[in-house]
Amino acid sequence: MSKFSEWFHKILEEAEIIDTRYPVKGMHVWLPQGFKIRRYTLNILRKILDEDHDEVLFPLLIPEDELAKEAIHVKGFEDEVYWVTHGGLTELNKKLALRPTSETAMYPMFSLWVRTHSDLPLKFYQIVNTFRYETKHTRPLIRVREITTFTEAHTIHNSKEDGEKQVERAIEIYKQFFNALAIPYVITTRPEWDKFPGADYTVAFDTLMPDGKTLQIGTVHNLGQTFARTFDITYETESGEHEYAYQTCYGISDRVIASIIGVHGDQSGLCLPPDVASYQVVIVPIIFKKGKEEVLEFCRKMEDTLRDKGNLRVYLDDRDIRAGKKFYEWEMRGVPLRIEIGARDIQNGEMVVLSRNNLQKETMKYDPQTFTGKIDEILKNISQNMAHKSWESFNKNIRPVSNTDEALEEISKHGGIISFNWCGNKSCGKDLEEKLRVDILGVQEISKEEKTCINCGNPAKKITLLSRTY
């Protein structure tokens, strides 16, 4: 197990994110702390999607014949599908698949819903669990067999241009989402051999974990008319003809939570962006025998004010254990801000505040009038500083190389992401992946000048990224 892997497993357990002891491989239990982080993370995405998508909920089971209809799609998932074959003791005459994703559940219904051009665009999303019998090594939150936080959006359009515009819009949605979580990313168009089964093309977001491997945290697929043809999703144009619709879909998963943990965590444990922290502020009373009640009373008022006036998630830790133990626990759980209050602080009109992101302690004036505003400002600063730090370290780990020896050396020594000129041909790309034991993430941009491919020497029109991946 790598050092990061060990750290990650320890944090999942100690910070009570998930319990990995559930007796089915690749399936885990969300614990209360983890569930809260998951909920607040989803709230951010939900808020963005709700601006112009409608939330729906489709059944978990997909009839075999619907799943099999789109040939390329089903080929891509055939090794990964779980099947329901029996109802009690009776063998079903039609097998039912546990959705690995919902295209083939939704699109037969879309075919019934879409009638004329004025029905379009339609934009839906759902937050569900999906099942994939992953054959690669499973890892909690990163590669699971029950994806519990699958947020999938599906859109339908009446022109190719509109479909393409939606791909751009989806990229903006995910940028906004990952920015809110201070998770840095690169955006690439995946190579042909790595696109979503059935898509025209796939655009992906990848972040970097502390062990130097990238993690794909979101994908946007332009489906063109492929699924519309298979599932007969047509609309009547203004001139009365029938046309196949254009579609896109995009999704994120539990991996987003894995990246929050991996990107921001440190030696002391979790470090949570204030917007998704289960508790944003923890108050620890510093208690000696003398003045105990006075201190507790003061802290309770502080808790009420922050909760009611400041609208913050606050926890007053008045357990009868050593303050040092509480400090350790809340740092490990990643609470962004800790306020310590003792009898002397009350006398001096002061409070001690610790920011989790840099572990710096500061003694501040306590002014009841401006108190909540001040705490809010500190939390905003923490968010900004976390984003600054994570992007700075991310950008340092993207390195340009000019030949394959250099690429191999960089990848072996530092991991991270390598950028290079590439011809774009599949055989060359596959050769490169094999030689360097890496994955080509995809094309980031088309280079303006004519360059040379670092692997085969042919003209290279593309700037491409590669890395070791999860």
- Phi, psi for residue 427 in degrees, rounded to 5: -65, -40
Residue 156 CB, nearest approach to ligand PR8 (Å)? 14
Q: Is 124 in the site for ligand PR8 (CB under 6 A)?
A: no
- Scanning 108-116, 139-147, 237-245, 305-313 for contacts with ligand PR8 by CB under 6 A, the matching segment is 139-147
All residues at 6 or more sequence positions from 276 whose CB lies less than 8 Å from its CB, including other chains = 37, 40, 41, 44, 181, 260
* Crossing angle of the two packed helices 160-180 and 32-50, in degrees rounded to 10: 140
Residue 96 CB, nearest approach to ligand PR8 (Å)? 19
> Rounded to whole angstroms, how far apart are CA atoms 6 and 16?
15
Among residues 135 and 360, whose Cβ is nearest to ligand PR8?
135
Are 16 and 34 a contacting pair, CB within 8 Å? yes
> Rounded to whole angstroms, how far apart are CA atoms 361 and 355?
7
Residue 437 CB, nearest approach to ligand PR8 (Å)? 21
Exactly one of 217, 299, 379, 465 binds ligand PR8 (CB under 6 A); which one? 217
| CB-side neighbour CA atoms (13 Å) of 465 | 28
All residues at 6 or more sequence positions from 137 whose CB lies less than 8 Å from its CB, including other chains = 143
- The terminus-to-terminus CA distance of the chain in angstroms comes to 14
Q: Is 254 in the site for ligand PR8 (CB under 6 A)?
A: yes
Exactly one of 53, 73, 143, 462 binds ligand PR8 (CB under 6 A); which one? 143
- Scanning 9-17, 168-176, 214-222, 307-315 for contacts with ligand PR8 by CB under 6 A, the matching segment is 214-222
Residue 165 CB, nearest approach to ligand PR8 (Å)? 18
Among residues 178 and 196, whose Cβ is nearest to ligand PR8?
196
Token pair of 401 as six digits? 């190389």
> Which residue carries 């990238």 as its tokens?
214
Restricted to residues 232-251, the positions that interact with ligand PR8 (CB under 6 A) are 249-251
Q: What is the pairing mode between strands 281-286 and 314-316?
A: parallel
- Scanning 33-41, 142-150, 441-449, 452-460 for contacts with ligand PR8 by CB under 6 A, the matching segment is 142-150
Residue 136 CB, nearest approach to ligand PR8 (Å)? 8
Exactly one of 33, 155, 189, 219 binds ligand PR8 (CB under 6 A); which one? 219
- Which residue is closest to ligand PR8 by CB? 251
- Scanning 10-18, 143-151, 169-177, 460-468 for contacts with ligand PR8 by CB under 6 A, the matching segment is 143-151
Exactly one of 45, 114, 144, 335 binds ligand PR8 (CB under 6 A); which one? 144
Token pair of 171 as six digits? 């990229």
Q: Is 125 in the site for ligand PR8 (CB under 6 A)?
A: no
All residues at 6 or more sequence positions from 452 whose CB lies less than 8 Å from its CB, including other chains = 421, 458, 459, 460
Element (H, E) at 420: strand 417-422
Residue 249 CB, nearest approach to ligand PR8 (Å)? 4
Q: Is 178 in the site for ligand PR8 (CB under 6 A)?
A: no
Exactly one of 34, 184, 191, 218 binds ligand PR8 (CB under 6 A); which one? 218
Residue 418 CB, nearest approach to ligand PR8 (Å)? 21
* Residue type at position 465: L
Count of residues near ligand PR8 by CB under 6 A: 20
Among residues 254 and 303, whose Cβ is nearest to ligand PR8?
254
Residue 208, judged by CB atoms within 10 A of its CB (0-12, 13-18, 19+), counts as buried
Q: Is 196 in the site for ligand PR8 (CB under 6 A)?
A: yes
240: phi > 0 → left, psi -120 to 50 → alpha, else beta; which? Answer: left
Residue 330 CB, nearest approach to ligand PR8 (Å)? 29
Exactly one of 33, 101, 188, 464 binds ligand PR8 (CB under 6 A); which one? 101
> Which residue carries 């003061």 as its tokens?
298
Q: Is 214 in the site for ligand PR8 (CB under 6 A)?
A: no
Residue 224 CB, nearest approach to ligand PR8 (Å)? 14
Among residues 234 and 259, whose Cβ is nearest to ligand PR8?
259
Residue 152 CB, nearest approach to ligand PR8 (Å)? 4
Burial 311-347 (b: 16+ CB within 10 A, else e): ebbbbbbeeeeeeeebbebbbbbbbbbbbbbbbebbe
Q: Is 345 in the site for ligand PR8 (CB under 6 A)?
A: no
Q: Is 132 in the site for ligand PR8 (CB under 6 A)?
A: yes
Q: Is 40 in the site for ligand PR8 (CB under 6 A)?
A: no
Among residues 114 and 252, whose Cβ is nearest to ligand PR8?
252
> Which residue carries 């339908």 as its tokens?
156
For residue 121, cis peptide bond before it (omega within 30 degrees of 0): yes
Q: Is 255 in the site for ligand PR8 (CB under 6 A)?
A: yes
SS3 labels along 380-409: HHHHHHHHHHHHHHHHHCEEECCCHHHHHH
Token pair of 54 as six digits? 């409608």
Q: Is 34 in the site for ligand PR8 (CB under 6 A)?
A: no
> Rounded to whole angstroms, how far apart are CA atoms 462 and 459?
9
Count of beta carbons in the 10 Å neighbourhood of residue 250: 26
Binding site for ligand PR8 (CB under 6 A): 101, 132, 134, 143-144, 147, 152, 196, 216-219, 221, 249-255
